[in-house]
């Protein structure tokens, strides 16, 4: 049953004791609010609909993010990038709110503020994906009762236009030359990226023992599966020209350094709006233009679905015209 006690400051404290349920208490400004809350809780208990919300209400988003970082995010391949997003959320005004108190409207406000500030839709989606996965883990793995995922009810921003940027032969030649003046490994990295359509991380973690006669074995890919990548004659020549390293790696550069050097090289020769990841796009499109089937290209690039593969495929219209005769 519920008991009511007026505090010295005028507030009303309600305590509910019922066999088989935890003792609950809450403080309200008026006795009417306290009675209403007690009636709702006791009604749920009578109908066996009571859910203990104490953990969901007392666990703040910041505390949940700390646990998520330790137990979940740390085991991901993109732990560093996700860590940056987690730290960003911990500085947000929602960080001090209990998990049960965060509504889809709160996240809709965050979405709109970020987009208004000029953040890309992809960035906003990735930020919200962290919160969505945190709630999924809290509900399923941590067993926090009474939670619902506020991101699931949220209208996501429409994706930005898919990139279809492909460098011209001259642009690629100029960038390769400029990149070679920045670091000796960069020309080979750029050309092999185009020849194989490998991701930046896959290319830079490649080890010498995994480079065979006509293929490269990728042990650690973004999708978490091993993959064999056939090597063109040009790719093999480039790999063979590189000096052997004591640590067994093919390249010495870190991923962020490659992106920075590539950007620098583009600026040096006035090539605009070209990113290192566009080389994977270019390489994938070239595989199709060589006449390979969708399944053959997917086995090389490692794309799991045809829709994902399509995003990187913008075939040269002149090459298609040649096929038509």
103 is catalytic: no
Q: Is the pTM of this model over 0.85?
A: no
Question: What span, in angstroms and rounded, lies between the C-alpha atoms of 228 and 307?
Answer: 21
- Kindly name the residue from 85, 200, 236, 280 that is annotated as catalytic: 280
Q: Is 312 a catalytic residue?
A: yes
Residues 42, 83 share a domain: no
Domain that holds residue 46: 2-50
Q: Do 230 and 214 touch, CB atoms closer than 8 A?
A: yes
Whether the predicted pLDDT of 319 surpasses 70 = no
Q: In the annotation, is 135 catalytic?
A: no
Per-residue pLDDT tens over the stretch 121-177? 888 999 999 999 999 999 898 888 778 899 988 888 776 556 678 899 999 999 999
Q: What is the pLDDT of residues 34-91, one digit of tens each?
A: 888 778 777 766 665 545 556 667 789 999 999 999 999 888 877 888 999 999 999 9
* Helix/strand/coil for 297: helix
Q: Which of 163, 277, 311, 314 is catalytic?
A: 277
Q: Hey, is 274 helix, strand or coil?
A: coil
CB atoms under 10 Å from CB of 302, counted, come to 20
Whether residue 155 lies in the annotated active site: no
- Active-site residue identified among 199, 200, 281, 286: 199
Domain assignment present for 81: yes
Identify the active-site residue in 97, 222, 263, 314.
Answer: 222
Q: Catalytic residue at 277? A: yes
CB-based contacts of 200, cutoff 8 Å, min separation 6? 193, 255, 258, 259, 276, 277, 280
208 an active-site residue? no
Indicate whether 63 and 45 sit together in one domain.
no
- Specify whether 313 is located in the same domain as 290: yes
Residues 100, 221 within the same domain: no
- Residue 162 is assigned to a structural domain of this protein: no
Residue at 163 is within a domain? no
- Same domain assignment for residues 175 and 306: yes
């Amino acid at each position: 049953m519920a008991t009511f006690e007026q505090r010295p400051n005028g507030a009303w404290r309600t305590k509910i004791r019922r066999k088989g349920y935890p003792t609950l208490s809450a403080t309200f400004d008026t006795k009417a609010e306290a009675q209403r809350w007690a009636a709702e809780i006791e009604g749920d208990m009578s109908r066996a609909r009571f859910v203990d919300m104490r953990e969901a209400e007392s666990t703040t988003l910041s505390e949940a993010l700390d646990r998520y970082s330790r137990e979940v995010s740390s085991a991901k391949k993109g732990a560093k990038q996700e860590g940056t997003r987690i730290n960003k959320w911990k500085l947000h005004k929602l960080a001090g709110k209990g998990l049960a108190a965060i509504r889809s409207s709160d996240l809709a406000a965050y979405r709109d503020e970020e987009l208004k500030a000029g953040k890309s839709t992809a960035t906003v989606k990735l930020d919200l994906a962290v919160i969505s996965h945190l709630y999924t883990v809290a509900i399923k793995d941590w067993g926090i009762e009474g939670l619902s995922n506020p991101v699931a009810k949220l209208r996501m921003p429409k994706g930005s236009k898919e990139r279809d940027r492909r460098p011209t032969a001259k642009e690629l030649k100029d960038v390769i030359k400029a990149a070679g003046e920045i670091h000796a490994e960069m020309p080979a990295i750029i050309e092999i990226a185009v020849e194989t359509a490998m991701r930046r991380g896959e290319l830079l973690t490649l080890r010498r023992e995994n480079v065979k006669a006509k293929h490269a074995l990728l042990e650690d890919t973004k999708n978490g599966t091993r993959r064999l990548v056939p090597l063109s004659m040009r790719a093999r020549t480039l790999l063979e020209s590189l000096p052997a390293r004591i640590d067994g790696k093919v390249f010495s550069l870190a991923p962020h350094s490659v992106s920075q050097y590539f950007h620098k090289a583009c600026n040096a020769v006035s090539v605009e709006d070209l990113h290192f990841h566009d080389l994977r796009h270019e390489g994938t499109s070239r595989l199709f233009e060589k006449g390979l089937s969708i399944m053959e290209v997917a086995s090389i690039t490692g794309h799991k679905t045809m829709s994902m593969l399509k995003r990187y495929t913008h075939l040269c219209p002149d090459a298609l015209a040649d096929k038509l005769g």
